[in-house]
Amino acid sequence: MHFFEKSLPQFFSIRTLILLILFIIIASITTKKIYDIRSAQASDIAFEETFDYEIPTSPSQSLLPKTFDYVVTHRGLGSGQEADNNAKALHFPSDHGDDCKAAMDPGPISAQNPILQHTTTTNHMGNATNPDNSFFICNNHMMSGMGDVDGYSVSTFWPKQEFDFFTGTGVVEWEVSLNTGARSWWEILITPRETMQLAAAKEWFPISETYPKNSIVLTWMDETRTINVYKDQPSPNGQIVAESDWRKWAEQIVKDDPAIADRRIRRKMTVSLQALVPGTSHGKITWSVAKPDGKMDSFSTDVPGGIPFTKGIVMFKTHAYTPEKDSNTHEYTYHWDSIRFTGPKLAPYENFEIPGVMQLSNNGSVPIGSTKTVMLHLPKVGHNPIFMGQTLAGQPGQILLSINGNPQIAIHPHTTAAKDTPCYFDGWRTFRISIDPSQLKVGENTFTWTVGPRPACGKNQWWWDGFSVKSAEIQFDGIVDGSQTPTTPPQLTILPTPTTLPTHTLTPTRIPTNILIPMIDTNPPIIGITNPTNGMKVNSKSTILLSANITDTSGVATVDFYVNNTLACSHVNAVSPYTCNYVVNGKSQTTYTIRVKAMDTAGNSSQKSVKMKVK
């Protein structure tokens, strides 16, 4: 012991050595804990969609996930046209051949090995139950896009589940192709559910909606990343961040990246949102893109005053603004995969849709007082009902709605700042109103639209009387389970740069024992195919009644019949038994696979298949 002491430096004692060893041990434990916490946060996936389904033999809408909502908006379609013209087919080319093949062979894209395409039709008749053909599944990933069909068009899809990043840094992740131009591009719009706008764009583009207040817009256009943030007011007045990474991807970041020319290649992207950076008065947004070697190239910006919200819907959008003017005649498709985000897992909202377009407009005014009634079947009346959709034209007080004979409600679409004409609503704009639950009922509900009187501000104006409505749906809040906090997060309080952050102790709230907590349904529907039986032989040119009995504890929302992966019939909010008439056109010995897919009102789904053969 004495020898050891003497061999140490003069300033080093046994006590110092022991303290040093203890410090190293404690530091290593602490470091390990921090690493574990960070790993847990990074793996805290609240939503995930990988599109890993069966491989379809043709571009498929039926395989699109029901956990998403889908809307397409064309600038001109519906303006002064008859109602059936909203179903008019607008055509454009989309990637993947009619058999879902991406190219003739897996080698590099060239004139001899081009990307294969098929013809897509689009109109205003699609919704989440029957999505527009511009959305489809091939080869375990999803496509969206839009061609040069109507001057300006926007296609939008989004998870029905909100992204919550209140408790820390939130991360959204996806994979996508990199091909874009100045007139055909994609973007991510994140905004609270209350301020969603389905066809928003920059204020100088020729469409009626601009970006809503309290929103983040991530735009990938012409190989360039741009981050915009809006607070308290819509675009452009509410803009507090407008930052672009002017390094063109294939010129200055990844020289001649093959992903630019080959749309089969998808790059992983992440965006991290930090509402308020500790010790500062600003938030932070970082957008990272994977390079071919897997390393991420990051582009960041500060958000003065902090990100103005901490929970929102993540909307994936494609824009087409006359791309043929840039000599773009076919590169309209964007390939998406592996969409996920972190945070607490919130219950998705439920939606029940009124299909098609309700039109009380014409090539000229329609008479004041004109009415039209549409029906919506509701299997339930849920919590916090919201009626949401898009209106075309109309003036304040003219778009009147009565639900089940109740007093009329005047519908006013969201304000859009720079494009606001206070007395005329012009193009397609999003509306959202709360509905008194007592006005709804289980079963058939009537929605009666009326053209109201012209307001004083519209006197002697050229505007036509009348309006149209599309993408209309009733939404109910999802069921909140015990792992969630069903409260509105408090507003951010921006403090002067503190030297020490206060420590908060979370006190659990005691739940009274006399309150019933709803249980979330996690069981999928039970399907029994009653006809045909498996292996049944049928005659060619005969009509077969496909039928199934389906039961579920929370109620069946949708039932789809597929024949060889092609949707044959679809039922929404109907009752068992479910049937579908199918004409057998196959030759002798042709085998058909009959698949029934059902989803309940809680979002659980199941499917069952049988085969039949032509004699």
Give the CATH architecture of domain 46-105+112-348.
Answer: Sandwich (2.60)
Q: Which of 35-44, 189-198, 281-290, 530-539 has the lowest mean pLDDT?
A: 35-44
- The rounded distance, in Å, linking the Cα atoms of 222 and 441 is 49
Confidence of residue 481 (pLDDT cuts 50, 70, 90): low
* More confident of the two residues 520 and 141: 141
CATH topology of domain 358-477: Jelly Rolls (2.60.120)
For tokens 């294969």, name the residue.
116
Q: Which pLDDT band, with edges at 50, 70 and 90, does 365 fall under?
A: confident
**DSSP label of 231:** -
Q: What is the mean pLDDT of residues 15-41?
A: 43
| SS3 at position 33 | helix
Q: Nearest CA to 474 among 381, 397, 544, 396?
A: 381
| Percent above pLDDT 90 for the chain | 57
User: Helical H runs in 505-595?
Assistant: none
Q: How many CB atoms lie within 10 A of CB 548?
A: 23
**556 has a pLDDT exceeding 90:** no
Mean pLDDT of 270-298: 95
CB 122 within 8 A of CB 133: yes
Domain ranges of the chain: 2-43, 46-105+112-348, 358-477, 526-614
Q: How far apart are CA 211 and CA 418, in angstroms?
A: 11
CA separation for the pair 179, 262 (Å, rounded): 8
The partner residues of 597 in beta bridges, in order of sequence, read 560, 607
414-462 pLDDT per residue, tens: 765 556 667 888 889 999 999 999 999 999 999 999 999 998 888 888 8
pLDDT of residue 240: 97
- Residue 373 pLDDT > 80: yes
Distance CA 591, CA 540 (A): 11
Asked whether 549 and 531 are in contact (CB, 8 A), the reply is: no
Distance between CA 71 and CA 199 in Å, rounded?
A: 9
DSSP assignment string, 362-409: BSBPPPTT-EEEEEEEES---EEEEEEEEEES--TTTEEEEETTPPPE
Torsion of CA 489, 494, 495, 500, to 10 degrees: 50
Mean pLDDT of the chain: 83
pLDDT at 482: 42
pLDDT digits (tens, 9 = 90+) for 482-495: 444 333 333 333 33
pLDDT of residue 460: 82
φ, ψ of residue 92 to 5 degrees: the values are -160, 160
Q: Record the pTM.
A: 0.72
* pLDDT value, residue 134: 95
In the predicted structure, residue 197 carries a pLDDT above the cut 50? yes
Give the C-alpha separation, 102 to 95, whole Å.
7
Min mean pLDDT across 3-17, 180-194, 206-220, 461-475 is at 3-17
Confidence class of residue 587 from pLDDT cuts 50, 70 and 90? confident
Name the DSSP letter for residue 241.
E
Asked if residues 401 and 448 have their Cβ atoms less than 8 Å apart, the reply is: yes
Question: Fold match between 46-105+112-348 and 526-614?
Answer: no
What pLDDT is recorded for position 27? 43
pLDDT at 218: 98
**Alpha carbon of residue 436 to chain centroid:** 26
Of 51-55, 129-133, 437-441, 502-506, least confident by mean pLDDT is: 502-506
CATH top-level class for 526-614? mainly beta
- pLDDT at position 102 over 50: yes
pLDDT of residue 580: 86
pLDDT of residue 473: 97
CA distance 149 to 10: 85
Q: Residue 311: how many CB atoms within 10 A of its CB?
A: 18
Distance CA 108, CA 261 (A): 10
pLDDT one-digit tens code per residue, 103-141: 888 888 888 899 999 999 998 888 888 999 999 999 999
Average pLDDT over residues 267-279: 95
Residue 372 pLDDT exceeds 70: yes
Q: What is the pLDDT of residue 494?
A: 30
What is the band of 543 on the pLDDT scale with cuts at 50, 70, 90? Answer: confident
